[in-house]
């Protein structure tokens, strides 16, 4: 199995995570090229929540920063790169990239695998892919139980995904579970593994995504909060406040002589 280290990337740290700097088109093309070569690579899509989780969990920070690409998924991270380093970075959002990768995989005949979520959501994803990308080969799907997998179970699913011939594996377990799983599978599955979080329900239409102007304004979190206030209020209130404080400290530290 091939795991080939990426070419040296330019990365910049925002609070706890080292974000990959590259244009959106290059990011997409590099992932598809690695998939076509059968390389075992990993992609993490970083947002404010992940930055704060990583700042409080050194193991998660190590797993994410060890990925081949750490994308600036949220607009606050794009703005932070501008404020900290004067860098104009494209937003590399998993919800934008996933349909583009599926289209590219269909064109290049690269099989894909969906891991995570629920059986119903996975079935909807397969149906949507068949309708939108008729040339796309879905090599398989698997919805793991909520409990941790036993060692043998994990070996079995690793072997199953590897044997499927998948070149892109979309992992929908949520943060930090998917990042830990991806880090463990790096070098074991001959495919590009992408932690897509909540992108699958958006792909299938189970959840509506915020309009483009809301996303561009960096207010997608507010749109999601209105959709799921009970689940997300505490998370967003806490993480957003902690992120502002942590970023302010980093800015002040940078200004010190």
Above pLDDT 70, what percent of the chain? 96
How are beta strands 11-14 and 17-20 bridged, if at all? antiparallel
Q: Output the pLDDT for position 222.
A: 78
* 116 phi, psi to nearest 5 deg: 115, -160
pLDDT band at 255 (very low <50, low <70, confident <90, very high): confident
Q: How far apart are CA 112 and CA 31, in angstroms?
A: 13
Number of H helices, E strands in the chain: 12, 8
Q: Output the pLDDT for position 3.
A: 52
Question: What is 12-198's CATH topology?
Answer: Rossmann fold (3.40.50)
Q: Output the pLDDT for position 84.
A: 97
pLDDT at 5 over 70: no
CB 17, CB 67: distance < 8 Å: no
Q: Output the pLDDT for position 177.
A: 96
Q: How far apart are CA 140 and CA 155, in angstroms?
A: 16
The 10s digit of each residue's pLDDT in 59-118 is 999 999 999 999 999 999 999 999 999 999 999 999 999 999 999 999 999 999 999 999
The 10s digit of each residue's pLDDT in 156-213 is 999 999 999 999 999 999 999 999 999 999 999 999 999 999 899 999 998 887 788 8
Q: How far apart are CA 235 and CA 220, in angstroms?
A: 14
Q: How far apart are CA 54 and CA 254, in angstroms?
A: 20
The 10s digit of each residue's pLDDT in 16-55 is 999 999 999 999 999 999 999 999 999 999 999 999 999 9
pLDDT band at 1 (very low <50, low <70, confident <90, very high): low
Cis peptide before 176 (omega within 30 of 0): yes
Q: Output the pLDDT for position 23.
A: 97
Q: How far apart are CA 173 and CA 143, in angstroms?
A: 9
Above pLDDT 90, what percent of the chain? 79
Contacts of range 29-33, beta carbons closer than 8 Å, 24 or more positions apart: 30/69, 31/69, 31/97, 31/101, 31/168, 31/192, 31/194, 32/101, 32/104, 32/105, 32/108, 32/110
Length of the chain measured in residues: 257
**Going along 2-155, which residue ranges are E strands?**
11-14, 17-20, 41-46, 69-72, 112-116, 138-142
Average per-residue pLDDT for the chain: 93
More confident residue, 239 or 224: 239
Separation of CA 28 from chain center: 13
Sheet hosting strand 112-116, strand order edge to edge: 69-72, 41-46, 192-195, 168-172, 112-116, 138-142
pLDDT at 150 over 60: yes
Q: Which of 39, 73, 65 has the alpha carbon at shortest distance from 168?
A: 39
Q: Output the pLDDT for position 217.
A: 81
Q: Where are the domains of the chain?
A: 12-198, 214-251
Q: Output the pLDDT for position 230.
A: 80
């Amino acid at each position: 199995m091939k795991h080939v280290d990426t070419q040296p990337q330019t990365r910049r740290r925002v609070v706890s995570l080292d974000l990959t700097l590259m244009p959106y088109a290059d990011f997409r093309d590099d992932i598809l090229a690695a998939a076509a070569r059968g390389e075992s690579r990993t992609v993490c899509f970083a947002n404010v929540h992940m930055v704060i989780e990583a700042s409080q969990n050194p193991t998660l920070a190590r797993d994410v920063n060890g990925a081949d690409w750490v994308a600036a998924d949220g607009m606050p991270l794009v703005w932070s790169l501008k404020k900290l380093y004067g860098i104009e970075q494209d937003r590399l959002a998993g919800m934008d990239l996933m349909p583009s990768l599926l289209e590219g995989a269909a064109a290049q005949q690269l099989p894909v695998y969906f891991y995570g979520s629920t059986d119903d959501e996975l079935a909807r994803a397969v149906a949507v892919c068949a309708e939108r990308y008729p040339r796309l080969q879905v090599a398989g799907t698997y919805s793991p139980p909520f409990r941790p997998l036993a060692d043998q179970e994990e070996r079995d699913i690793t072997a199953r995904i590897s044997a499927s011939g998948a070149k892109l594996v979309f992992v929908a377990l949520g943060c930090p579970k998917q990042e830990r799983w991806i880090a463990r599978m790096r070098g074991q599955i001959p495919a590009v593994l992408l932690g897509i979080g909540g992108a699958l329900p958006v792909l299938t239409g189970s959840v509506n995504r915020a309009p483009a102007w809301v996303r561009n304004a960096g207010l997608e979190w507010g749109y999601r909060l209105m959709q799921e206030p009970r689940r997300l209020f505490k998370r967003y209130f806490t993480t957003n406040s902690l992120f502002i404080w942590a970023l302010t400290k980093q800015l002040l530290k940078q200004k010190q002589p």
